[in-house]
Amino acid sequence: MNELLREVVSEEIERLADVDERLRMLTVTAVLSEQDLSRATVLLSSAPAQALQGLQAQRRRLQRAVADQARLRRTPRLGFAADPSVAAGERVDAAIRRLHAADQPDLESGVRGAHSHQESSDIQDRDSAQPREVALRGLGSERSAVSGVVVVDKEAGWTSHDVVARCRKIFGLKRVGHAGTLDPDATGVLVVGLGRATRLLRFTGSQPKTYEADVVLGVGTSTLDSSGDVVAEIDMSEVPIDEVRAAAAALTGSILQVPPMVSALKVGGRRLHELAREGIEVEREARRVEVSRFDVDLAPEGRTTKGTQVLQIKVTCSSGTYVRSLAADLGALLGGCAHVRSLRRTSAGAFSLDEARRVGELSIADVLPPAAAMRGYTSVTVGPQEAAKVRSGRLLDRSDLQLSGDGPWSLLDALGDLLAVYGERGPDMVAPIVVLATPGDAPGTGGLG
């Protein structure tokens, strides 16, 4: 039960960190509940005063999350405190470093940086005769041991929520989420997280995505795609393709984009598409997005007798970019209107259609390990002593791990299982953002099996 509470509280803190920066870089190491469930103390790897203030301010939302997801006979009142075992361990580590820094800078032979990847590969090669499988453990009705990601080729007519609901049934899980909504009419890559790996979707979803679509110049719709009502028609059949490409170039790079009224973005606590269905339009603040690629060609059907012109586009853009808005903006720059049709996401970060499966074809064999969710980010293999610190959510010395760049970094054990994701904490230290493994996990399980 305490482990269930830890996971629920951890996930909710991660979500709340998007709106309250004081909660960032906090890691829940354990939850200790009273026998009668009257109270539960949330232990944190570190608890600065500002972070504790943020937790107190968000206490009600955390309580609701526990009530909704844990479904215990009684919802405990949450309290927060720094984990004393973590603080004691950090003091011991600091004392050891001070005593031995002069003559033994690499005292802990278990610490490895990027140079350890070859050793890790050797271990995996020796074990290759025994194929790795997704870990399956009996963890009771509240949790399932299946954890990882599946890459779905979403079909038209399915909402992203429909895919998540079906995956819950296929894998027998309650905890399933997706990284980046696709419209019901859109198809293509939808990365779905299962079990504990849902906590990693924030990293998967923040990576660039690539789309292919048709754009119809000369027809504007209420939804900016083919599902809406026609609201404008302008003869654009004679617009030269060179002008179209020049307009697309103007929409490339760092641009400001106003989210469409038919998006899932929330304004004042309500989703824009809900307001749009009620005929309400609200002011939306423009957001900066990155469009690194906007290629345009004339579609095979080309110019039509109805005064339209059909284009084929390929777009690579940052998370949060609306391709339908790009199509509408393209039409406006050319002095007319446009809408998108046949939108297909061909890649999301490092995941592509090559490994995607339709939801009806999914099986346990298609589940990728949690470490796959961190594709595109730097990974570092650590030894057993350092892995024990990671499982406890301890701060680590950046130089010991030979970390470069701005992070985040995936920390793996010797078998390649993901232990945690770490981020910067000042110039010299790194701190856990998400810890998947727990202190009681056996080495090599990644906390998942």
10 Å CB burial of residue 114 (0-12, 13-18, 19+) is middle
Judgement on whether residues 278 and 228 belong to the same structural domain of the protein: yes
Name residue 88's amino acid.
Answer: A
In a domain, 392, yes or no: yes
pLDDT tens over the chain, length 449 residues: 776 777 778 777 777 776 677 776 667 777 888 877 888 888 876 667 777 788 888 888 888 877 777 677 778 888 887 766 555 555 555 554 555 454 444 433 333 333 333 333 332 333 333 333 333 333 333 334 789 999 999 999 998 889 999 999 999 988 898 998 888 889 999 999 998 899 899 899 899 999 999 999 999 998 899 988 899 999 999 999 999 999 999 999 999 988 887 776 777 667 777 777 777 777 788 889 999 999 999 998 777 667 889 999 999 999 889 999 999 999 999 999 999 999 999 999 999 999 999 999 999 999 999 999 999 999 999 998 889 989 888 889 988 888 888 889 999 999 999 999 999 888 888 988 888 876 656 555 544 43
Helix, coil or strand: residue 446 = coil
Q: At residue 117, what are phi and psi to the nearest 5 degrees?
A: -60, -35
Nearest to 343 by CA among 211, 227, 216, 248: 211
Q: How many CA atoms lie within 13 A of 15 on its CB side?
A: 13
Judgement on whether residues 295 and 170 belong to the same structural domain of the protein: no
Do residues 423 and 377 make contact, with C-beta atoms less than 8 angstroms apart? no
The Cα 437–Cα 447 span in angstroms is: 4
Bond prior to 408 in cis (omega within 30° of 0):
yes
pLDDT of residue 407: 83
Tokens for 116, please give them.
């350890």
Beta carbons within 8 Å of 192's beta carbon, 6+ residues apart:
149, 150, 151, 152, 163, 164, 167, 176, 177, 178, 179
Q: Which residue's structure tokens are 């025994």?
A: 130
In a domain, 344, yes or no: yes
The Cα 2–Cα 341 span in angstroms is: 48
pLDDT of residue 105: 42
Judgement on whether residues 340 and 218 belong to the same structural domain of the protein: yes
In a domain, 55, yes or no: yes
CATH number where 399 lies: 2.30.130.10
Q: Where are the alpha helices (DSSP H) in 158-300?
A: 160-171, 201-205, 241-250, 272-277
The one-character DSSP state at 17 is: T
- Please state, as a whole number, how many other Cβ atoms lie within 10 Å of the Cβ of residue 251: 18
Beta carbons within 8 Å of 257's beta carbon, 6+ residues apart:
286, 287, 288, 289, 321, 322, 325, 326, 329
pLDDT of residue 356: 97
Judgement on whether residues 242 and 339 belong to the same structural domain of the protein: yes
Judgement on whether residues 175 and 217 belong to the same structural domain of the protein: no
Query: Which residue in 153, 183, 225, 417 is the catalytic one?
Result: 183
Do residues 411 and 404 make contact, with C-beta atoms less than 8 angstroms apart? no
Bridge partners, 344 (sequence order): 187, 212
Judgement on whether residues 220 and 246 belong to the same structural domain of the protein: yes
Q: How far apart are the first and last CA of the chain?
A: 18
Q: How many CA atoms lie within 13 A of 261 on its CB side?
A: 14
Radius of gyration of the chain (CA): 25
CATH number where 7 lies: 3.30.300.20
Q: Which residue's structure tokens are 């990671």?
A: 390
Q: How many CA atoms lie within 13 A of 207 on its CB side?
A: 20
Judgement on whether residues 252 and 278 belong to the same structural domain of the protein: yes
pLDDT of residue 51: 76
Judgement on whether residues 53 and 153 belong to the same structural domain of the protein: no
Nearest to 371 by CA among 200, 178, 202: 200
Active site residue 406: no
CATH number where 169 lies: 3.30.2350.10
Q: Is the dihedral of CA 213, 329, 190, 372 positive or negative?
A: positive
pLDDT of residue 347: 97
Helix (H) or strand (E) holding 31, with range, is strand 28-33
Beta carbons within 8 Å of 386's beta carbon, 6+ residues apart:
108, 110, 111, 112, 396, 400, 401
Give pTM, 2 decimals. Answer: 0.71
In a domain, 174, yes or no: yes
10 Å CB burial of residue 336 (0-12, 13-18, 19+) is buried
pLDDT of residue 32: 85
CA–centroid distance for 145 within its chain = 20
CA distances from 346 to 22, 153, 295, 358, 390 (A): 36, 9, 14, 14, 35
Q: Domain span at residue 332? A: 213-348
Nearest to 340 by CA among 212, 247, 253: 212
Do residues 241 and 249 make contact, with C-beta atoms less than 8 angstroms apart? no
Q: Is the dihedral of CA 373, 375, 378, 382 positive or negative?
A: positive
Helix, coil or strand: residue 285 = coil
pLDDT of residue 15: 73
Name residue 260's amino acid.
Answer: P
Judgement on whether residues 238 and 331 belong to the same structural domain of the protein: yes
Judgement on whether residues 276 and 304 belong to the same structural domain of the protein: yes
Overall domain count for the chain: 4
Overall size of the chain counted in residues? 449
Q: Which residue's structure tokens are 């808005």?
A: 325
Judgement on whether residues 308 and 389 belong to the same structural domain of the protein: no
Judgement on whether residues 235 and 218 belong to the same structural domain of the protein: yes
pLDDT of residue 23: 74
Do residues 423 and 411 make contact, with C-beta atoms less than 8 angstroms apart? no
